[in-house]
Amino acid sequence: MRFPVVPVVCVLAGLCLSASGQSTTGQQPSGSQAAAAPATSSGASAQTAAPAPATPPLRLENLPPEPHTPTPEEQAEMQRQRQVAAINRIATMQAHWGVAMSTPGVSLSMKEVGRTKTPQGTELTYRVSAIGFTAGEKLAFMRWPLDGNIETTMDNLTVSPSGEAICGPAPTAADPTSCTKTMEASQPLEVKATVAPGEAIRIALIDADQKRGAATSVVPFPIAGADKGCKIELLLGLKNAGLVLIEGEGFPPNASLALNTSSFGEKSALNAKTDPGGHLIVAMMPGVKGHASGATTVSYQGTACSPSLTFPWGADSYKAQ
């Protein structure tokens, strides 16, 4: 999945070029291009077109059935299916956010430059660097907050000769989203955020033509477990852990694995398959019937390693670090 042709990115962020379909309509021939009607064997003119079949009369037995009013159970199931589809889209986006979604040869990185304690939590500050963009070209800055949509928050950015994302010169026309509204020309771009454990800070830069772009993320306070070279890590997909992703690395390549989950004594398995590099990613929706909140342990029991992690979920479980 890459800029700008990832369908889900097109829907959420408008990163794709619009592709308008063209319908072909027949043109009436004129002048020398008009063809004469073929003559019949008797020399008569072309045959008259057959009349269109008559519409059958409307009868009681042909009436369309009365629209069915969904039962409460059917409405609940349709709502559940919509929620599952939406969660699957979020999981797919998050799983590919980064290198897999970036234009080949273009990449971003974030470097932490400050931490400040606030009543809302630890405010983190990052500087952004880019590789693959041309120094001086106009770029738009995008963020994808947890429980939010991908949005362009600032444009008129550019990259310095050293690769640092900076504010470009003030545009000649008024632009409410220009970086010059809040930054000085050539001032480095700083990303500030307050996040919870397991929450990623996700950003992207895309050029003015929407042909090249790069995305990256960083998890300041990871929830992870490691053992003998294997590691599993949790990423929040929704606040209060309504959706989480479990990423793993250091496992056998191209292997089918079962991760174990346990919460309030209920146990289940998460089936995953590693890629050729021994990396895995699987989504889950934690929760136990009859409980508004709790904690889940995810673990892997193998002959070579046995990593595990525990995370909170449910009401009021989202707390900034």
- CATH of residue 150's domain is 2.60.40
Task: Tell me what pLDDT residue 57 has.
Answer: 63
pLDDT tens per residue, range 228-249: 999 999 999 999 999 999 999 9
- Tell whether 277 and 302 lie within a shared domain: yes
Containing H/E element for 86? helix 72-96
- Minimal CA–CA distance to 297: which of 234, 207, 205, 216? 234
Least-confidence region, from 41-55, 73-87, 168-182: 41-55
Task: Tell me what pLDDT residue 91 has.
Answer: 84
Is the model's pLDDT at 120 over the cut of 90? yes
Of 164, 193, 218, at which residue does a domain stop? 218
The pTM assigned to this predicted structure is 0.75
How many domains does the chain fold into?
Answer: 2
Give the mean model confidence (pLDDT) for residues 245-256. 96
- Tell whether 103 and 214 lie within a shared domain: yes
* Residue 280 belongs to domain spanning: 223-314
Residue 192 domain-assigned? yes
Containing H/E element for 7? helix 7-13
Q: What is the largest CA-CA distance in the chain?
A: 99
Residue 187 domain-assigned? yes
Task: Tell me what pLDDT residue 266 has.
Answer: 94
CA-based torsion, 127, 133, 138, 144: positive or negative: negative
Of 201, 218, 235, at which residue does a domain stop? 218
> Is the CB of residue 280 less than 8 Å from the CB of residue 273?
yes
- Tell whether 247 and 174 lie within a shared domain: no
Residue 183 domain-assigned? yes
Residue 45 domain-assigned? no
pLDDT above 70 covers what percent of the chain?
A: 79
Question: How would you class 128 by CB atoms within 10 Å of its CB: exposed for 0-12, middle for 13-18, buried for 19 or more?
Answer: buried
Q: Rounded CA gap, 171 and 249, in Å? A: 46
Residue 294 domain-assigned? yes
Residue 320 domain-assigned? no
Q: Rounded CA gap, 164 and 148, in Å? A: 27
Task: Tell me what pLDDT residue 53 has.
Answer: 61
pLDDT tens per residue, range 257-279: 999 999 999 999 999 999 999 99
Of 218, 236, 271, at which residue does a domain stop? 218
Residue 186 domain-assigned? yes
Residue 210 domain-assigned? yes
Count of C-beta atoms within a 10 Å radius of residue 303? 5
pLDDT tens per residue, range 172-192: 777 888 999 999 999 999 999
Bridge partners for 109 per DSSP: 129
- Tell whether 231 and 207 lie within a shared domain: no
Least-confidence region, from 56-65, 127-136, 151-160, 241-250: 56-65
Task: Tell me what pLDDT residue 66 has.
Answer: 66
The torsion angle over the Cα atoms of residues 178, 182, 186 and 190, rounded to 10 degrees, is: -100
Task: Tell me what pLDDT residue 306 has.
Answer: 97
Average pLDDT of the chain, as a whole number: 83
